[in-house]
Homo-oligomer: A and B are copies of this chain.
Amino acid sequence: MIQATIRRSHDKGILSFEMTGHANFAEHGQDLVCAGVTAVVFGAVNAVIVLAGFEPLLDIGEDGGYFYFEFPESLDPEARQKAQLLIEGMIVSLETIERDYKDNLRVTTNII
């Protein structure tokens, strides 16, 4: 199962998110859930880079089983607002997948 953990501050702003594990929906190369999650996450991060115009802090595991994204502390307010909306959109997309594949993806939120 892929575990997606969203870390939010008390004012609900997103601080970071972390993806661990594999979907295990089907064998490697045919795993539709892994493909969907990968497309949503890599796409959202690319959208942040292209549309909000900054490089987030990233840590991407070699075997595809780990992905960490963090907002830089100092950031232009408009860029932050755009990126927050794009990552909120990514979370809605992950929750859309989770609804149909509860055994393969779990999205949880921690308030820091």
- Count chain A residues whose beta carbon lies closer than 8 angstroms to a beta carbon of B: 30
Known contacts A30-B30, A42-B96, A96-B42; is A89 also within 8 Å of B51 by CB? yes
Task: Judge whether A44 and B89 touch: CB under 8 Å.
Answer: yes
CB distance from A44 to the nearest CB of B (A): 6
Task: Judge whether B40 and A43 touch: CB under 8 Å.
Answer: yes
Q: Which of B30, B37, B82, B93 contacts A47 (CB 8 A)?
A: B93
Cβ-closest chain B residue relative to A25: B35
Task: Judge whether B85 and A50 touch: CB under 8 Å.
Answer: no
A: which residues have CB within 8 A of B? 26, 29-33, 35-40, 42-44, 46-47, 50-51, 82, 85-86, 88-90, 92-94, 96-97
